[in-house]
Amino acid sequence: MAKIGNGYGSECHLLRYLGRHRGLLDARVRKVVGASEVHWLDFEFDAAKEWPDVEWEGLDFLPAESPARTAWQGFWPQRGTPPNWDAVGRVSVDGRLEWLLVEAKAHLEELQSSCAAMEEGGRSTILAAMEVTKRALGVPTDRDWLTGYYQYCNRLAILHFLNGHDVPARLLLIYFFGDKVPGRECPKVQEEWTNALRAQAAHVGLPEDHPLVDRIHTVFLPVAS
């Protein structure tokens, strides 16, 4: 977890919405997901940290006895820094509980990332997971999922893994607008995210009708309505 911004940044604004604008956030989530209920998981505490909260990492939100957690050990490196989530929730869709995994962004530079894992850190395992996911989703094999938009791509890999192991899950992408992050380009209105997200989509290469299309949801939220 990065150091939270004092009144700015995606982590700060997501915390605000979860704590002070929960009704508005839940209403938007229910609408875009098609859910009747939304419940958010609490973070754990870590008193040794400056900001004493611990984000959910990898698949730690699953029950310890879940077969998917065992299979995960062979799908993704178990050393190094695991993917972490800005929030994790449960949603009820057509009477079935499903996991909701959240990524939030407040400035354009947050979209950019590349895989920093070395071979001893499991880079080849990550590459294999990405290739499996690309084949499953119909993505051209020449698309580079380790460079440029790595975080988004590894979220796709995790989403594919979960649903392929009988763990119904959805990915919720939250884009804030109207923020003022020092030294960063922050969209002032929703439309200013458009070109950056188009560039991401073009790089990643997901077909319009890929198998996870109904499980990836996008919400644009104002920093102040």
What confidence score (pLDDT) does residue 31 get?
98
What confidence score (pLDDT) does residue 3 get?
64
* Residue 204 maps to a domain: yes
* Residue 211 maps to a domain: yes
Its domain, for residue 78, covers 10-222
* Residue 5 maps to a domain: no
What confidence score (pLDDT) does residue 2 get?
56
Domain count, the chain: 1
* Residue 3 maps to a domain: no
* Residue 4 maps to a domain: no
Kindly state the tokens that stand for 153.
């791509």
What confidence score (pLDDT) does residue 176 get?
98
Kindly state the tokens that stand for 147.
């460079």
What confidence score (pLDDT) does residue 121 get?
76
Distance CA 132, CA 147 (A): 17
* Residue 203 maps to a domain: yes
What confidence score (pLDDT) does residue 50 get?
82
Could you tell me the sign of the dihedral formed by the alpha carbons of 93, 10, 75, 142, in that order?
positive
Instruction: Report the SS3 class of residue 137.
Output: helix
Give the tens place of pLDDT for each residue, 192-205. Answer: 999 999 999 999 99
- H-run or E-run covering 102: strand 96-105
Distance CA 94, CA 77 (A): 34
* Residue 136 maps to a domain: yes
* Residue 128 maps to a domain: yes
Q: What is the mean pLDDT of the chain?
A: 95
Q: What residues in the chain have per-residue pLDDT under 50?
A: 1
